[in-house]
Amino acid sequence: MKHVEHMSDSVALYLGDCREILPRLGKIDAVVSDPPYGLGDLLRKGGATEWSLMRSDCVLWDETTVGELESIIREFEHAIIWGGAYYALPPRRGWLIWDKIVRNFSSGHCEMAWTTLDQPVRAFNFATTSLISGNNQFAKEHPTQKPLPLMEWCIGFLPSEASVADPFMGSGTTGVACVRMGRRFSGIEIEPRYFDIACRRIADELKRPRLDLTPAPKAEQQSLFRGDCP
């Protein structure tokens, strides 16, 4: 483990290799992650422009973990794994689909998440144009960054009390979603550049004012008559 940031009582971020760090974290209920598929070299050779965020000295995040991910997932009661079709995971029916709506991108029109959810397939529509770098809350700071509304949607399928880990945290979108939804979060990232981005994004989210969502007490109907009246 190279470094750890305890952002709050409910958020801890770790810089290092998830294979070394995860066994030290104790009980965590769910893993929600977008792990590397090992496609970076293939897409760069094809000239895919959306990979322009990739730096030649910053490629560890895209190392494939085929053959290792299944053993990582076994440690968790619940799992949502984007790109799960690239791994040898057991057949399940609760796939989640992100429809990117826009069709003129070189990447896939949809992405699929393998899950442990016992439910029919569910889909979420969110246009990829909202992720183009610029002055908006969804601008990408990582080549494969998922939209924040998508990750909030995913986490919403998990039990409300579930703590969440992201072993391939990237720029920290899963962590931001957990903070917004009041979930405990542990994030791990091996690349220092993206670890720093995740720390900044999650710290900014922790500073945001929260609405008090505590339900108001129910009004009780008062009797018009005193109980001691004849």
How many other CB atoms are there within 10 angstroms of residue 39's CB atom?
17
Using a cut of 0.85, tell me whether the model's pTM lies above it. no
Contact present, 182 and 193 (Cβ < 8 Å): no
pLDDT in tens, the chain (230 residues): 577 878 789 999 999 988 889 989 989 999 999 988 765 555 455 444 444 444 444 444 445 455 577 778 888 999 999 988 888 888 999 999 999 988 776 678 899 999 999 999 999 999 876 655 445 556 677 777 899 999 999 999 999 999 999 999 999 999 999 999 999 999 999 999 999 999 999 999 999 886 654 454 554 544 444 455 44
The Cα–Cα gap between 151 and 192 comes to 22
Name the CATH code of domain 3-207 (choices 3.40.50.150, 3.40.50.280, 1.10.1740.10, 3.30.300.30): 3.40.50.150
